[in-house]
Amino acid sequence: MENSAILAEIPSLRRYARAMLGDRAAADDLVQDTLERAWSRLYQWRAGSDMRAWLFSIMHNLQVDRSRRSMLNTQSIDEDEFEVPTRSTQTDMLEVRDLESTLSQLPDEQREALLLVALEEMSYAEIAAMLSIPIGTVMSRLSRGRERLRLLMEGRQPTAKLSIVR
Amino acid sequence: MSKLPITEAELHAYVDAVLPEARRDEVERYLSAHPKEAERVSAYRVQKNMLKALFNPVIDEPLPDNLRTLASPPAIAEARHQRRYFLARWSLERVAVGCVIALVGAVAGWTAHGQYRPAWRMANTSSLPRQAAVAHVVFSPDVGGPVEVSAEREAKLVAWLSKRLGTPLRPPRLGALGYQLMGGRLLPGNSGPVAQFMYNDAMGQRLTLYVSTENTDNHDTEFRFAEEGPVNVFYWIDGKFGYALSAGIDKGELARIAAAVYDQLEHK
């Protein structure tokens, strides 16, 4: 029975992981670890609570653990990658890919807030509950993330606050 | 009339359409008086739409086998689970059984939810991009009469299409993106009239916006992308309206335009 509830969330988990990590294979690895952990801890899931929020919080914790370990960034090549049916990758999506690389320049916690709002359409309160942080923190991460992304997309460096002195 | 200052958090709530209506009006008034802020808010909205355009296609990708398999309990977890049961005292086991019973009930609801959703999604959106793409390939190459009423008579075009579709319509302005309105036409949809607006850029590249009012299900959809042969289509449903933007240009460029169209239509 849990099977289909979990199955229904896998596409969203993949979308979020892809946006968060920017790499298909790494994202699917994270989803895989999330699902494995979810199964081994299913007894922790409170019946009737939101399965999606629970799975996302597991993924969040895994991701935090990983980036804390600050491992060497290895690029894995996934066989699945070669059977993606839809798009040709030569010329398309220049603009949008810009967004993808710009997104990766945001601090994890800002990117996370931004993506949970934009892609998962979670409410600010849901995000706060899921990450166990105050709602004000969610708002400030979202606000800083959006502004930073905007400046980066416009080719401005939000971090360059040095003024030129001669 | 506005008493409280508008906070940064409220501007974001406005972008995410979660502000109470009364406050939304105040934010709008504030924005019309502060063009710099309005520009910032609009950039955030475009950002959000572009993120959707970029990552929503992942949802429709087929699941890799290793993930699909994990929709069922993996063997290791099962074994670990059993050891846990074995070690646990009888009372704990009873609690666990209670949880499982509750969980089964809760999950039954989820299952139904999960199974119904894909069904409407497909039924609802499969034909819109197809229709729009066909209308695009039929009319956009036409040299003599690509549009029925040209943009020189825009007021007439707007009045006419609004009347025929029975709802106010207004073609978005895409001049900032390099596309000028050429005009529009009325087309037969599934059960009544639909409208098509056509634009071109300086190079003669044509773009069409297909507007249908035939959506009867009350399900809005997010930004979606479809490839119909040589035509790329971004489409979305908002209430009774279905919108589809088609062109033979690359997906990234089209996404940028679609985000602008969406923005103008949703936040007039």
Q: Which of residues 101-160 of B touch A (CB under 8 A)?
A: 102-108, 110-111, 113-115, 117
CATH 1.20.58.1610 fits A89-157, yes or no: no
Q: How far apart are CA A80 and CA A65, in angstroms?
A: 26
**Nearest beta carbon to residue A48 from set B55, B67, B102:** B102
Which residue's entry shows tokens 């006419």? B160
My answer on whether B131 and B230 are in the same domain is yes
> What pLDDT does A56 receive?
94
Domain CATH for B177: 3.30.200.100
Per-domain boundaries in chain A: 1-85, 89-157
Per-residue pLDDT of B105-131, as tens digits, reads 666 666 565 454 444 344 444 478 888
pLDDT of B189 reads 81
Maximal CA-CA distance, chain B: 84
Is B1 contained in some domain?
Answer: no
- Does position A75 have pLDDT exceeding 70, yes or no? no
Best-predicted range by mean pLDDT among A6-20, B59-73, B96-110, B239-253? A6-20
Give me the residues of B, 184-243, that contact A with CB < 8 A.
227
Nearest CA in chain B to A98: B252
Percentage of chain B modeled with pLDDT above 70: 78
Q: Which of A153, A72, A52, A91 shows the shortest CA–CA distance to B252?
A: A91
pLDDT tens-digit profile of B6-40? 999 999 999 999 998 889 999 999 999 999 999 99
Strands, DSSP E only, in chain B? 149-150, 180-188, 193-200, 206-212, 224-228, 231-238, 241-247
CA-angle at B128, arms to B126 and B131, nearest 5°: 110
What is the C-alpha to C-alpha distance for residues B149 and B219, in angstroms, rounded to an integer? Answer: 32
How much is the pLDDT for A80?
37
Predicted confidence (pLDDT) at residue B267 exceeds the cutoff of 80: no
The predicted structure's pLDDT at residue B17:
92
Least confident of B102-106, B118-122, B149-153: B118-122
A150, B40 in Cβ contact below 8 A?
A: yes
| Residue A87 confidence (pLDDT) | 39
Ranking A40-44, A158-162, B157-161, B241-245 by mean pLDDT, the lowest is: A158-162
Rounded Cα distance between B221 and B205, Å, is 28
Q: B76 and B176 in one domain?
A: no
Q: Extract the tokens encoding A56.
A: 């996302």
In order, the DSSP letters of A94-127 are HHHHHHHHHHTTS-HHHHHHHHHHHTS---HHHH
What is the rounded CA–CA span in Å between residue B7 and residue B5?
Answer: 6
Pairing relation of β-strands B224-228 and B206-212?
Answer: unpaired
Which of B223, B180, B186, B224 lies closest to B198 in space, CA to CA?
B180
Strand extents, DSSP E, B47-159: 149-150
Of residues B79 and B131, the one with the higher pLDDT is B131
Report the pLDDT value the prediction gives residue B73, as an integer from 0 to 100.
75
Q: Dihedral (C-alpha) A145, A150, A156, A161: value to the nearest 10 degrees?
A: -40
DSSP letters spanning B18-39: -S-HHHHHHHHHHHHH-HHHHH
B-facing residues of A in 105-164 (CB < 8 A) are 114-115, 117-119, 123-124, 136, 139, 142-143, 146-147, 149-150, 153
**What tokens does B235 get?**
């489409």
Number of residue pairs across A and B with CB atoms under 8 Å? 170
Laid out side by side, the sheet with B149-150 consists of B149-150, B180-188, B193-200, B206-212, B241-247, B231-238, B224-228
Same domain, B69 and B167: no
Predicted TM-score (pTM) above 0.80: no
CB contact under 8 A, A1 and B73: no
**Does residue B77 form part of some domain?**
yes
Q: Can you give the pLDDT at residue A157? A: 63
For the segment A123-138, the average pLDDT, to the nearest whole number, is: 93
Confirm whether B3 is domain-assigned.
no
State the nearest Cα–Cα gap between B193 and chain A, in angstroms: 32
Domain of B102 in residue numbering reads as: 65-122
In words, the CATH class of domain A1-85 is mainly alpha
Residue B51 to residue A19, Cβ atoms within 8 A = yes
Give the closest of B52, B62, B72 to A118, CB-based. B52
Q: Quick check: A128 pLDDT over 90?
A: yes
CA neighbor of A150 nearest in space, from B175, B9, B144, B45: B45
Q: Is the minimum CB–CB distance between A96 and chain B shorter than 8 Å? A: yes
Closest residue of chain B to A115, computed from CA coordinates:
B51
- pLDDT surpassing 60 at residue B167: yes
pLDDT above 50 for A71: no
Question: B226: which strand partners?
Answer: B233
* Closest Cβ–Cβ partner in B55, B72, B251 for A3: B72
B29, B132: one domain: no
User: Of B58, B79, B94, which closes a domain?
Assistant: B58
Q: Contact B252/A93, CB-based, under 8 Å?
A: yes
Q: Say if B79 is an interface residue toward chain A (CB within 8 Å).
A: no
Q: Are residues B139 and B204 in the same domain?
A: yes
Residue with tokens 């506005």: B2
For residues B118 and B130, membership in a common domain is answered with no
Report d(CA A94, CA A98) in Å as an integer: 6
C-alpha–C-alpha distance, residues B81 and A161, integer Å: 54
Which pLDDT band holds residue A60 (cuts at 50, 70, 90)?
very high
Q: Please give, rounded to a whole number of angstroms, the shortest distance from the CA of A15 to a CA of chain B.
A: 5
Hey, is the C-beta of B170 within 8 angstroms of any chain A C-beta?
Answer: no
For residue A25, report the phi and psi dihedrals to the nearest 5 degrees. -65, -45
- Return mean pLDDT, chain A: 78
Q: CA nearest A47: which of B149, B107, B151? A: B107
pLDDT at B113: 56
Where is mean pLDDT largest: A120-124, B72-76, B105-109?
Answer: A120-124
pLDDT by residue (tens digit) across A136-154? 999 999 999 999 999 988 8
The Cα B155–Cα B150 span in angstroms is 10
Residues B171 and B39 placed together within one structural domain of the fold: no
Same domain, B154 and B239: yes
Query: Does residue B217 carry a pLDDT above 50?
Result: yes
Residue B224 — φ and ψ, nearest 5°? -130, 160
Residue B2 within a domain: no
